[in-house]
Amino acid sequence: MAKIKVPSLLIVGAVLIGFLMGSGLSGQVHAESEGLLGQLHVFNQVLRYIKTNYVEEVDSQDLVNSAIDGMLEQLDPHSTYVNPESFSRMNERNSGEYEGIGISFEMRDGYITVVSAIEGGPSYGLGIRPGDRIVAIEGESAKDLNSQDVVSKLKGPKGTKVNISVARPGLDKELAFTIVRDKIPIYSIPYTFMLDDGKTGYLRMIRFSATTSEELTTALRDLESQGMERLILDLRNNSGGFLNQAIEVSDKFIDGNEVVVYTKGRIDGASQYYYSTDDATFAKYPLIVLVNHGSASASEIVSGAVQDHDRGLVAGVTTFGKGLVQRQYMLSDGGALLLTVARYYTPSGRLIQRPYEDRDEYLDHFRLADQDEDGNAVAQAPADTTEKPVFYTLNEKRVVYGGGGITPDVEINLEREFNEIQVKLEQSQLFFEFAAEYVATHFDPATLNATEFVRDYQVTDATIDEFDAQALATDVVELSREELDAEREYIRAAIKRELAGNMWGINARYQVYVKDDPVLSEALTHFPEAVEMAKIYERGWSTNNR
């Protein structure tokens, strides 16, 4: 980050006041600008005294950043300063792509261990697999590198090359790869597949980035081609993203010329109504939207629009309640100011933002909610709806509740629970490592079908015995034979999950994982209600558009 020099504050202040005074504003604004100039002068004096006279040497950049943070703490929790490094990462995540070799990795025993090769990326095309260890980069040992060094060595501009050496489980000889870097997609929808009943499509959306709407169209068409008759849209732990993408996602399900969301603010352009179109709407199949306390912002726009228009059933627990609109202002140091300029409201008039008088409590819950795609945000039961303001849906005039967040139509307050032994096994990474070795010695993925494997394959008792023997022989986790025997069925499911992931990637892995998801299992029992809601929506739309 570039150093902020003390004199620059005077320059910024002078430019700002010069603009205000030279804009032909009223005497009141003129007086306010003079007051601001005086305040900036005092700030500059304090900073200069600290810099020259404080008992210890201080960094003026740290002082200014602290002053900025203190100023923003007087506003809402989502008005923030983003430093240049964080801003670059944020842009990369939201753009939907970056340039590099296309792997996700973890450091295990000092080695870069591939967790997955991103489908469509150059590593995936070369056959790099989960469990592969990158032992050398450009002929130099890659052992004990830190994550930042790994990223700097492997990421790079499209078209450039990097040479790596890979140790693969089951092979004695290292493999050499020359990887041509390329644009790597960052998927908003990494998981999309048909459930075992052959008629339910499942789609999990983990963020709202620049490519989300396009990905959704592709995913829905793919599911329709497989015979989808109804859909689960999983927005759990999706903490949001771009407003325009939330509107376009809602547009897939809601007929044209309907309000999707509206905003209210103080400045020009901050108060807007956003409408659906006739261009992007898909068939009106029964729809269930899954939400939890980790669903925020854009996720709440979508679930609120679906609920208010009686388009589908919202199931889970009350969403986070993040309904403030930030506008991005670029700063001279390469960072950005994300400043709240408006509030979101659902079509029925519900304010999405929940109260944040207790700022620390609010931010603690927001950090909990903001997890990665496999995060474990703690879902909370909705507050007593008798204390919440009542609103009504636009077609059926059903009661829905305001007060912050989206209160679901069907409360499913269930969480997948893990006991101490299961946690130890997962943290040890033994399942991942066992699967990498087992696939190398027992399977040829090219001869197998992923759908059939996920649906039909059974991990044998002999395979579990083999895993148990390895677990007992390692000092990574201390478990007894009796403890492993007590978790035999859990181990069976976990091995199958990692076998699928090793051979076909994260989508196949997740298909196995959700088979034991209690929220999804319960949601499926509510499709009769979603079917009736789809009929109501179709009837209401036909009546209103005769």
Which residues have a catalytic role annotated? 297, 308, 322
- Please name the helix (run of DSSP H) or strand (run of DSSP E) that holds residue 208, with its range, or none: none
Q: Which residue has the tokens 């790994």?
A: 150
E-strand ranges in 370-511 read: 390-392, 399-401, 410-411
* The one-letter amino acid at 261: V
Is residue 272 within 8 Å of 302, Cβ to Cβ? no
Token pair for 34:
């003079």
Token pair for 530:
């979603």
Is residue 102 within 8 Å of 182, Cβ to Cβ? yes
Closest C-alpha among 216, 297, 290 to residue 263: 297
Per-residue DSSP letters for 470-508? HHHH-SSS---HHHHHHTHHHHHHHHHHHHHHHHH-HHH
Q: Tell me which DSSP letter residue 237 carries.
A: T
Token pair for 350:
């519900």
Separation in Å, CA 23 to CA 16, 372, 494: 11, 47, 67
Closest C-alpha among 275, 277, 273 to residue 342: 273
Token pair for 284:
């009106």
Is residue 82 within 8 Å of 335, Cβ to Cβ? yes
* The one-letter amino acid at 351: L
3-state SS, residue 380: coil
Is residue 205 within 8 Å of 216, Cβ to Cβ? yes
